[in-house]
Amino acid sequence: MVPLIQSLVKKHLERLAAEDVNLDDFAPKVIEKAKALQERFSPFITINEKLASENMPRHVMKLPFSVKDNICTRGIRTTAGSKILEPYVPPFDATCIHQIKNAGGFVVGKTMMDEFGFGTFATNCAYGAPKNPIDPTRVCGGSSGGAACVAAAAEFPHIAIAQSTGGSITAPAAFTGTVGITPTYGRVSRWGLIDYANSMDRIGAIGKCVYDAALGLSIISGYDPMDSTSLNAPKTDYTALLGSEIKHLRVGVPVEYFGADVDESIKRNALDMIKGLESFGVTWEEVSLPSTKYAISAYYLIAMSEASTNLAKFCGLRYGMEGPLDGNYEQYFAQLRGKYFGEEAKRRIILGTYARMSGYRDAYYLKALKVRAKIIGEFRKAFGRVGVIATPSMPIIAPRFDEVKKLTPVENYAMDRMTVPSNLAGLPTISVPSGTSSGMPTGIQFIGNYEQEGTLVAVAGACEQV
């Protein structure tokens, strides 16, 4: 175990001791509590009931983690929320899972998610939908809804490992009143992740508080030669940055994120939080990110194009669901995918394939890439003036399940307008609670410059004090 991880584990155990947590036979007790949680809120697809077979001494398993079900876990079923992968049990651990186990962590279970990450509300999962612990008639947010549900409701020390492509950490964190960190693209290895869109996928952490999310990121981040997009940067103890000086920090408030399409109480809570940071010596100013209005269109063209390519490998021949070998390859391929892919997955495969076709690629996909470059340029310009950018995390509070059913696909996609721009740019973000509206939590999102996760942790820690 590297010295930094040793230090993190020591601090974690000291914290548990201070909270008077009984560590005797800790892991089995956590599993029993996870089962009770499942009965109430359905956050898991699979609970890991085989902890006795984990290749580590039971006495060191003091760090419970839940893991989003698109991250490979050796010996534990990994479905990505899809029926097409229902029987898949990986023979290996993703890099971030390997790091968790090296730190004495153990996997409690695999959490509910929209199929392959295709959703904003965690209602597109083939195995059910997690219920919001604050109001079970409402959604948890997606696509990492199960992760946020466990982070919010667990009655045991816990960190949820989640993943984001267009806002899938920020959205559920905001809807459940938890803290979600989405790191810089490449800060956490993607090796062992079942991809949605390779150029945007990022693995992060959700916790009850900033410390928990920062601890999770500290453990799973770091360079990985197995991932060609991994940043060659040293591991950092982000928990040590809580309480860091932010006296001269300047916060940018983009006018495009505070429009009429955002709930008034959410805007008010976010602005009140920004003003509350003035007590720490923070100043703020308005900034403009004019290409924000094009971000949704560019994101979905790029993401669906990449997704349609990634999902082509689920053909029923190597792993996952299979069928009787009737007809030719094309007939088998179409029949099996038609049966086991969900409606939203099919929609995105079709749209992504269309955008990449000869004759349309220049008009749609390549134009979306140009918009993405423009959005990145505007963020860089803004960070020449400010240290972080603050926005509402989501434009609405967590909707009820019956409200989500009434949304058209376009209305559903538009819910990502606060989170998609920073994901297109690969910038780190953190979402922290900013208050309540109609009894439900609201969130404020801070966007940092590349590799500035430490600054985001410090700002989020100050928000907790506010």
Q: Which residues are catalytic?
A: 68, 143, 168
Q: Which residues pair with 63 in a beta bridge?
A: 105
- Rounded (5°) CA angle 426-427-433: 125
Q: Are 205 and 178 in contact (CB under 8 A)?
A: no
Q: Are 213 and 159 in contact (CB under 8 A)?
A: yes
Q: Which residues pair with 432 in a beta bridge?
A: 444
Phi, psi of 147, deg, nearest 5: -60, -50
Concatenating the DSSP letter of every residue in 410-430 gives: HHHHHGGGGTHHHHHHT--EE
Phi, psi of 156, deg, nearest 5: -150, 155
Closest CA to 190 of 161, 148, 159, 151: 161
What's the gap between Cα 242 and its chain centre?
A: 21
Q: Which two tokens stand for residue 292?
A: 């924000």
Concatenating the DSSP letter of every residue in 83-113 gives: GGGTT---SS--HHHHHHHHTTEEEEEEE--
Phi, psi of 368, deg, nearest 5: -65, -35
Helices (H), 249-328: 264-276, 295-310
Q: Are 460 and 210 in contact (CB under 8 A)?
A: yes
CA 167/CA 63 separation, integer angstroms? 26
* CA distances from residue 414 to 2, 261, 407 in whole angstroms, order as listed: 43, 10, 10
* 355: Cα within 13 Å, side-chain hemisphere: 25
What is the greatest pairwise CA distance in the chain? 70
